[in-house]
Structure 1
């Protein structure tokens, strides 16, 4: 059985859990990370040299990096209905997964650390204002894409890209800051919330 190493509150672990829910993959999860078993042990570092979660063990195959994991799971476990095989369709999905990991993910770091984690190193008011503005600009990009497709990130319907981006949208709404009015993002949030996997691992009150 697939083993998932990582605490369920981690946004990156929740990507994997939601993907498993969508593809109906049975798994066992073990709590690793802050507050649980340490990822700094030689045992864990032998699996992931970055000492971060999640890590999966699929028989004798070990994989880390959450977006790589969900791509692998969709490819291995018949997830072609939301991770297309056709190269151009897959590339459109991949570009939004990569956008979330690079541009969108970086845009929220300071604001999230300040407003949710209450990090003493992230309490500069000007830096916070700049971070909130940057985060909003990226959410505006997302809003335009959703206006264009009318439903999900891909014009072809729900796809693997909606997992990391859907979790990012949850983080946006759960972080206590002024949220500009992005109607397409709000509608997307409600649309995703009709998916049982999202309610379990996305819109569950955990930013």
Structure 2
């Protein structure tokens, strides 16, 4: 059985759990990271030298990097439910996964750390202001792209939506200004109706 290492409040673990839910995959999840420890142990570092989550194991096969894990699980699905068979549609989906990792999350993460994991008296207003600006700029990119599209990659739900939507959920849940972005809001509300999204992603931020 697929084994997943990582705590449920991790954005990178939530991507994997959501993907598993969409594909009806059974798995055994083990808490790891932050208050659970584990990630610094020699046995875990043998699986993932970065000491981060998520990591997956399937028998003697193991690897890490959440977006790659999501790709792997989607590509294994013979029905192609999340990974388009058409090469153009496939890489359209995958570019949005990379965009989340290289543009959106680097902008949003400092805001999340400041507002959720930093005591009020230690928060840096300059860091918050900068992160708010960059995060909104990233979400505006999504809003523009989603005009006339049901999902990021067109009419069908694909892996391309998973990383970006997990990050958008965090953006909406943070106590920060959320200017009206009708296309992102419409897309987000559609995703909120998916049971795997609700189960894996819609939990309190911590």
TM over 0.5: yes
1:91–1:146 Cα change, 3 Å? same
Secondary structure (helix, strand or coil) at the match of 2:34 reads coil
Q: Quick one: distance in 2 between partners of 1:53 and 1:71? A: 16
Aligned residues: 206
Matched, 1:39 2:73: no
Matched, 1:152 2:151: yes
Which residue number corresponds to residue 181 of structure 1?
180
Cα deviation 1:77-127 (Å, max 9, x = unaligned): 335122113221111001100000100011112211111111689733233
Q: TM-score, normalised by structure 1?
A: 0.94
Q: Quick one: distance in 2 between partners of 1:146 and 1:122? A: 37
1:136–1:90 Cα change, 3 Å? same
The structure, 1 or 2, with the larger RCO (C-alpha pairs under 8 Å, 6+ apart) is 2
Q: TM-score, normalised by structure 2?
A: 0.94
Secondary structure (helix, strand or coil) at the match of 2:53 reads coil
Gaps of 5+ in 1: none
Q: How does 1:1-207 map to 2 (within 5 A)?
A: 1-78=1-78, 80-118=80-118, 123-149=123-149, 151-206=150-205
Q: Quick one: distance in 1 between partners of 2:54 and 2:79? A: 20
Q: Quick one: distance in 2 between partners of 1:30 and 1:152? A: 31
Gaps of 5+ in 2: none
What RMSD over aligned residues (CA atoms) do the two structures have, in Å? 1.7
Q: CA deviation at 1:131?
A: 1.5
Which 4+ runs in 1 deviate beyond 4 A? 119-122
Q: Quick one: distance in 1 between partners of 2:70 and 2:45? A: 21
